[in-house]
Amino acid sequence: MNPLQFPLDPIQYGIPDRQQLIDLRIWDDHYHGFATSGDQVKQHNEMMLYVERMGIERVISLDIGGTLDDPFIPKPHDNEIRAILNVNKDKVSGLTPIDPGFPEESCAKIEDWVRKGPCIGIKYPGGNKLGMTVDHPNNDRIIKLAKELHAVVYIHTWMKVGGSPRFPGGDNGPGESTPMNVAALAKRFPDVPRTYSLNLPGPILILAQLIMP
């Protein structure tokens, strides 16, 4: 069997085949292929088979340099990952995670991974150690540097229903920003483009079951 073929016939399920997916020019901006405590490069290489199978034109990795939980601790494969992003610029782009609780360290990381390359921007993880949302004043220094470098600003937002009485965002954890926090930040920096992410685990699970043998 051709490794790029689906194990099942997509047409039988009423979804596009691989060529149709290629024609759509899909960019996956929520790629976690490097997110592992093991061999990051090995996992990425294995994951790229499914990226190719799905006809995805480009992936944007959210785990470049450190981890989402510990963004300032270097990882053993950082240099190899830099090389992958430099060699495969037409297929893989990178965002490096930062932490608004530590603006000086965050800006230093932006200088290292964005100004020097190869990352195209930064990732605000869903939560952080000091519980600071993206509208906290600590972010101003970070966003000003991102603006200077024309960097992508990717913000993971949450709307967890909870609290008493229950309301959207009432069950968010420390540092888990809502879209309203993003809006407050945007008022201070109206000319800085941003993107924010919400997960849809049900459809993603169904799709994964279909494309993976």
How much is the pLDDT for 121?
94
Spell out the residues 6+ positions from residue 190 whose beta carbon is closer than 8 angstroms to its own: none
How much is the pLDDT for 192?
81
Provide DSSP, 145-184. Answer: HHHHTT-EEEEEB---EETTTTEETTT--TT-B-HHHHHH
Q: How many domains does the chain have?
A: 1
Residue 29 maps to a domain: yes
How much is the pLDDT for 87?
97
How much is the pLDDT for 160?
87
How much is the pLDDT for 211?
37
How much is the pLDDT for 55?
96
How much is the pLDDT for 196?
53
Closest CA to 119 of 145, 157, 158: 145
Q: What is the CATH number of the domain that holds 105?
A: 3.20.20.140
Answer yes or no: is pLDDT of 199 > 60: no
- pLDDT by residue (tens digit) across 24-46? 999 999 999 999 999 999 999 99
Q: What is the pLDDT averaged over residues 107-113?
A: 98
Q: What is the mean pLDDT of the chain?
A: 88
Residue 180 maps to a domain: yes
Structural domain range at position 184: 10-211
Residue 44 maps to a domain: yes
How much is the pLDDT for 195?
59
In whole angstroms, what is the distance from residue 151 CA to residue 56 CA? 23
How much is the pLDDT for 209?
36
- pLDDT by residue (tens digit) across 45-81? 999 999 999 999 999 999 999 999 999 999 999 999 9
In whole angstroms, what is the distance from residue 169 CA to residue 179 CA? 10
Amino acid at 162: G
Residue 2 maps to a domain: no
Residue 3 maps to a domain: no
Residue 112 maps to a domain: yes
Answer yes or no: is pLDDT of 206 > 80: no
